[in-house]
Amino acid sequence: MDDKESMSIASPNDRLERIARFVQNRLHQVARQTQNPMLDPEYRWQNTLRVSNYGKIVAKAEGANVELVVAACLLHDVAHFDEDNWKDHGRLGARISRPFLVELGYSPEETESICYSVAVHVDGRADFEHPETLESKIVSDADNIDRFGAYRIIQWCTVDVESYGELVAKLRKRLRTLEDYRQRKVMETETGHDLFNRQLDLQIAFFKALIEESELTSLPGL
C-alpha cells in the first residue's frame, strides 16, 4: 500500500494530525524564508490550536460536521505569512490546502467545503463558487472568538505598559469598541455569539478595572 492509499483510508484523527503537522511546518518554513522578525510562527500556531478547539465546541453545539470544521480551522491561517495583502490569505490558503486535502482522501465535496471555509474566513469572499455553509460560519466565529480572548488582553496592554497614561487612553477607546460589540450580535451562530460575549465581558471587566485603578493613582484630597 503506497502513501496516498494509506492516507485515503486514514481515520479522521489521523487526517487532522497530518493537517496539523502540515500547517505547523509550513508556518515555520515561510517565516524562515521571509526572514521577517515581526513574524511569529509559534504564536500563529498557538492561535490555530485555540481556533480549532473553539471550532470543535461550536460545531458540536450547532450540529455541524465537526471534522470539516476542525480541518478548516487548522488550515485557516496556513497562508497567513504569504501575502502582502492580509485580506487575501484566506483565499490563498484555500488554494494551498486543496491538493493536500485530496491526498488525505477527502471527497471532492468535503474538500471544497473545507476550502470554502478557509477562503471566506477573513472577509466573507471566496474566489470560487460555493454555497455558504454552517461550517464556514463556525470557522469565522471561532477565529473571532480567539481574537478577543485572554491572551489578547496581554497583547493590548504590553506595548504601552511602561507608559501608564497612554495605556489608559488606549483602553478607554478600546472599551467603547468592546461595549459597542456587546450591544450587537456580530457572530454567525448562537453558540459563537455566546462564547464571543464571554470574551467581551472578560475584556470589558479587566479594562474597566484598569481604568478605575488609574483614577485612584493620584494624591487624595481631604
Model pLDDT for residues 125-143, shown as the tens digit of each residue: 999 999 999 999 999 999 9
36: left (phi over 0), alpha (psi -120 to 50) or beta: beta
Residue-wise burial string across 189-210, b where 16 or more C-beta atoms lie within 10 A, e elsewhere: bebbbebbbebbebbbebbeeb
> Would you state the torsion angle of the CA atoms of residues 23, 24, 28, 34, taken in this order, to the nearest 10 degrees?
20
Give the whole-angstrom CA distance, residue 40 versus residue 53: 20
Q: Give the three cell numbers for residue 68.
A: 470539516
CA distance 198 to 181: 12
- pLDDT for 45-78, tens place per residue? 999 999 999 999 999 999 999 999 999 999 999 9
pTM attached to this predicted model: 0.90
Closest CA to 189 of 149, 139, 150: 139
pLDDT at 83 over 80: no
Rounded mean pLDDT, 34-54 = 92
Mean pLDDT computed over 28-47: 90
Question: Please, what is the angle between helix 134-147 and helix 190-215, to 10°?
Answer: 10
* Cβ-contact 210, 170 below 8 angstroms: no
- So what's the pLDDT on residue 1? 43
pLDDT(115) > 90? yes
